[in-house]
């Protein structure tokens, strides 16, 4: 923003808050970090958080709540049924997302579990704009198969397309022609697309998907986890939206879907919580009877009253234009710094994270030597920075053949929690990455020593390959 103006004439964005409580960080030595990553099997998920200096593992549940949200925590109505906080949450989801029916869940995957169980039959196919790990697994466990129908540019970390989260309409039409609409219970639309590097989908594309879906009698379920960030990109990049508030754009996006799964731990600035929302009475009734089996009563869904209150209040803060501009602005700040230094990242810079392109960072490693996994481990050893692999380890194995999937993107995600770190933390992060980049040719690959059955990236263990 305003990058082209001389610094003196710029009007920069600044965080629309000030800091009133802090958490102290621990510094560690390189030897201590080497020991810690070895204990963790070269998997950053298995590190102890107290051994981490700057934690960019995820933006999920790691954001800082406001004083307004914290004071809401004191107003928790911890009744088993009919909590006042539930009605407050329902009211705000209706107002800002526009779905009439809302069922809280403990987090996003709780909602994915319910909708997959309700709508998917064995042999069904669920198309989507790139997979997300938990979403696809719930679809598979319900008997379905996920089909990626995202545009080709999404797989190219160097493509500058503004909406790399778009659905390739031709791929979608071809899939419908091939398997038949009756085999497709719904289309999942991710906004923004996490595994593609936090890339947005355009309103025009959502509308096209809507038309195809309606013509074929197929539902659309939005993964609204980071839809507010997507709405901001629409405001910045899509014709006709420059003067619309992000809140209005969010509402319009949701109007093009039949329901949504939501992880409140991202956009909504809470440490725990999610919901399933929908228009359809029939789905709602099914969800009402399933939620009590897996999550809890439909007025708490695995959450305490106070958690629902924090999320209800978080919605209002999250849709403010000045909040979202600073949030995405901070991610762009780190991304621009790395770009200036010639470090390979996914472009354009995403909404919640900067993604290092491990294929270009470590070109001497083959994908089955887990370059992104190793790069994440090295970032930790170098500077105590925790990031996450989003490549071959995350992609897992094909359900039928048992073979490793080979995604074209082999990435390390530097995910920025909301309202947590300062610009100086991001400067240090960029400097650590730069010094690692200078000695990149010395970095060896990894071999996997333990592989769990489901979502292996969380608990898999590795050791460096002997050179
Ligand atoms: N959908 C997307 C796009 C997500 O990024 C996540 C979680 C979920 C659904 C599931 O939500 O964690 O509340 O059950 N993503 C986290 C991440 C884990 O680090 O990106 P959940």
Question: Residue 3: its pLDDT value, please?
Answer: 57
- Are the C-beta atoms of 246 and 278 separated by less than 8 Å? no
- For residue 192 and ligand 1, the question of a CB distance below 6 A is answered with no
CA of 48 to the centre of ligand 1 (A): 20
* 8-state DSSP, 465: P
- Are the C-beta atoms of 407 and 398 separated by less than 8 Å? no
- Enumerate long-range contacts of 392-398, CB under 8 Å, 24 or more apart: 392/367, 392/368, 393/448, 393/456, 393/457, 393/460, 394/133, 394/195, 394/457, 396/133, 396/455, 396/456, 396/457, 397/456
- For residue 198 and ligand 1, the question of a CB distance below 6 A is answered with no
Question: Which one of 44, 263, 273, 417 would you pick to mutate in the ligand 1 pocket, going by the greatest count of ligand atoms within 8 A of its CB?
Answer: 263
For the four alpha carbons of 356, 357, 359 and 363, in that order, the dihedral sign comes to negative
For strands 388-390 and 461-464, give the pairing: unpaired
Cα-Cα end-to-end distance for the chain: 45
Phi, psi values for residue 394, rounded to 5°: -60, -35
Q: Of 356, 337, 347, nearest to 414 (Cα)?
A: 356
Residue 302 backbone class (left: φ over 0; alpha: ψ -120 to 50; beta: rest): left
Specify whether 325 is catalytic.
no
Question: Residue 6: its pLDDT value, please?
Answer: 76
Question: Residue 467: its pLDDT value, please?
Answer: 66
Question: Residue 5: its pLDDT value, please?
Answer: 73
Specify whether 449 is catalytic.
no
- Are the C-beta atoms of 56 and 414 separated by less than 8 Å? yes
Q: Cα separation of 5 and 313, whole Å? A: 37
282 contacts: CB under 8 Å, gap ≥ 6:
none
Tell me, yes or no, if the pTM score tops 0.75: yes
For ligand 1, atom 11, the nearest C-alpha belongs to 108
CA of 353 to the centre of ligand 1 (A): 13
- For residue 44 and ligand 1, the question of a CB distance below 6 A is answered with no
Give the pair of three-digit tokens for residue 141: 């466990």
- Domains, the chain: 11-59+321-464 (3.90.1150.10), 67-318 (3.40.640.10)
Q: Give me the catalytic one of 390, 418, 419, 456.
A: 390
Q: Cα separation of 253 and 274, whole Å? A: 19
Question: Across the strands, what pairs with 385?
Answer: 54
CA of 58 to the centre of ligand 1 (A): 9
- For residue 225 and ligand 1, the question of a CB distance below 6 A is answered with yes
130-159 burial code (b ≥16 CB/10 A, e <16): bbbbbbbbbbbebebbbbbbbbebbebbee
Specify whether 132 is catalytic.
yes
Specify whether 361 is catalytic.
no
Task: Collapse the DSSP code of 278 into the 3-class scheme (helix H, G, I; strand E, B; otherwise coil) and give the result.
Answer: strand
CA of 335 to the centre of ligand 1 (A): 22
Question: Residue 218: its pLDDT value, please?
Answer: 98
- For residue 105 and ligand 1, the question of a CB distance below 6 A is answered with no
- Are the C-beta atoms of 393 and 449 separated by less than 8 Å? no
Q: Cα separation of 200 and 190, whole Å? A: 8
Question: Residue 400: its pLDDT value, please?
Answer: 87
What is the pLDDT tens value at each position of the chain, 467 positions in all? 455 677 777 778 899 999 999 999 999 999 999 999 999 999 999 999 999 999 999 999 999 999 999 999 999 999 999 999 999 999 999 999 999 999 999 999 999 999 999 999 999 999 999 999 999 999 999 999 999 999 999 999 999 999 999 999 999 999 999 999 999 999 999 999 999 999 999 999 999 999 999 999 999 999 999 999 999 999 999 999 999 999 999 999 999 999 999 999 999 999 999 999 999 999 999 999 999 999 999 999 999 999 999 999 999 999 999 999 999 999 999 999 999 999 999 999 999 999 999 999 999 999 999 999 999 999 999 999 999 999 999 999 998 899 999 999 999 999 999 999 999 999 999 999 999 999 999 999 999 999 999 999 999 999 999 86
CA of 243 to the centre of ligand 1 (A): 30
């Amino acid at each position: 923003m305003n990058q082209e103006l001389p610094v003196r004439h710029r009007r920069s964005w600044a965080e629309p808050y000030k800091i009133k409580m802090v958490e102290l960080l621990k510094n560690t030595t390189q030897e201590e970090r080497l020991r810690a990553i070895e204990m963790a099997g070269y998997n950053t998920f298995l590190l102890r958080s107290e051994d981490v200096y700057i934690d960019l593992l995820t933006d999920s549940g790691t954001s800082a709540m406001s004083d307004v949200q914290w004071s809401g925590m004191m107003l928790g109505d911890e009744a088993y049924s009919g909590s006042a906080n539930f009605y407050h949450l329902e009211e705000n989801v209706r107002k800002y997302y526009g779905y009439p029916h809302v069922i809280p869940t403990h987090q996003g995957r709780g909602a994915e579990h319910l909708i997959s169980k309700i709508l998917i039959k064995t042999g069904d196919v669920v198309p989507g704009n790139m997979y997300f790990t938990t979403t696809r697994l719930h679809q598979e466990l319900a008997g379905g198969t996920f089909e990626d129908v995202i545009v080709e540019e999404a797989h190219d970390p160097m493509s500058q397309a503004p909406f790399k989260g778009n659905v390739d309409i031709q791929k979608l039409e071809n899939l419908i022609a091939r398997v038949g609409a009756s085999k497709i219970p719904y289309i999942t639309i991710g906004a923004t697309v996490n595994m593609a590097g936090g890339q947005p989908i355009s309103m025009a594309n959502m509308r096209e998907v809507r038309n195809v879906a309606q013509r074929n009698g197929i539902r659309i379920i939005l993964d609204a986890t980071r839809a507010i960030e997507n709405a901001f990109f629409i405001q910045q990049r899509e014709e006709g939206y420059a003067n619309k508030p992000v809140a209005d754009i969010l509402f319009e996006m949701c109007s093009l879907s039949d329901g949504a799964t939501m992880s409140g731990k991202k956009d909504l600035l809470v440490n725990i919580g999610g919901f399933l929302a929908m228009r359809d009475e029939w789905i709602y009734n099914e969800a009402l009877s399933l939620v009590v089996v897996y999550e809890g009563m439909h007025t708490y869904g695995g959450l305490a009253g106070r958690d629902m209150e924090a999320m209800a209040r978080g919605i209002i803060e999250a849709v403010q234009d000045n909040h979202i501009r600073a949030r995405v602005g901070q991610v762009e700040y780190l991304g621009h710094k790395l770009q200036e230094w010639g470090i390979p990242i996914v472009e354009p810079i995403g909404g919640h994270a900067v993604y290092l392109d491990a294929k270009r960072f470590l070109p001497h490693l083959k994908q089955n030597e887990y370059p992104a996994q190793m790069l994440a481990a090295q970032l930790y050893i170098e500077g105590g920075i925790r990031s996450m692999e989003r490549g071959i380890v995350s992609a897992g194995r094909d359900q039928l053949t048992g073979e490793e999937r080979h995604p074209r993107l082999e990435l390390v995600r530097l995910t920025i929690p909301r309202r947590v770190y300062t610009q100086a933390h991001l400067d240090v992060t960029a400097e650590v990455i730069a010094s690692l980049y200078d000695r990149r040719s010395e970095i060896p690959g990894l071999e996997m020593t333990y592989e769990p059955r489901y979502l292996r990236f969380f608990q898999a263990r590795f050791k460096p390959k002997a050179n």
